[in-house]
A = this chain, B = another copy of it.
Amino acid sequence: MESMEPGTVRPGGRTARVRTAVLQAAGDILAERGYSHLDLADIARRAGVGKTTVYRRWGTVTGLVADLLADMAEQSLPRTETGSLLGDLKANARLVQRTLADSRQGPLFKAVIAAATGEARTAEALRHFYDVRVDEWAPCVQQAIDRGEVPEGTDTHEVIRAVSAPLYYRLLAGGGRIDVAAADRAAEAAATAARAGVFLSEGRPR
């Protein structure tokens, strides 16, 4: 068997199939039972993969969760372009809403966020996941700047984070259902504040 660094993967073939099965199993267990019940031997059994393969490739539960988050970042959907800032932010908000309201993905995100509170490596992998998502959507704010909808000097990434924040707040702190109305409101609030210049980069004239 080939020797590999934990977390490295070669595309296609058996290696890719094993990774897919193992990450699927890890995600299922995280969603069903949370992070504290995650165990490499269980994951291997559920994935139908040899325990040795899982230990050799991922090393630890933390390493496996970091790889799961890297995979989620890779699978992140491309943004939708609607021609207006509000339309684009609503498309983004509804994507977040569908994810967090999903019966598998919602608990999975809760579990990963909980794990990240206690582990630096998971926190870093989670930040990377959000960076990839925010990088994907930030250009819709730049387009709004180019159209003159939003003032020059707006922090495009911060607008995208403002769309997600109220939905994550509902997931973790409560305050109501994560439904389409909540998503649309999050998008409207961010668009309205962006147009008014609230998200101008710090240090810029207001």
Chain B positions within 8 Å of A36 at CB level:
36, 118
- Is A185 in contact with chain B by the CB < 8 A criterion? yes
Are the C-beta atoms of B161 and A118 separated by less than 8 Å? no
Are the C-beta atoms of B113 and A173 separated by less than 8 Å? yes
Are the C-beta atoms of A127 and B189 separated by less than 8 Å? no
Interface size of A as a range = 35 or more
Chain B positions within 8 Å of A176 at CB level:
158
Chain B positions within 8 Å of A172 at CB level:
113, 116-117, 168, 172
Chain A residues close to B by CB (< 8 Å): 34-36, 110-111, 113-118, 123, 126-127, 130-131, 134, 157-158, 161-162, 164-166, 168-169, 172-176, 181, 185, 188-190, 192-193, 196, 198-199, 202
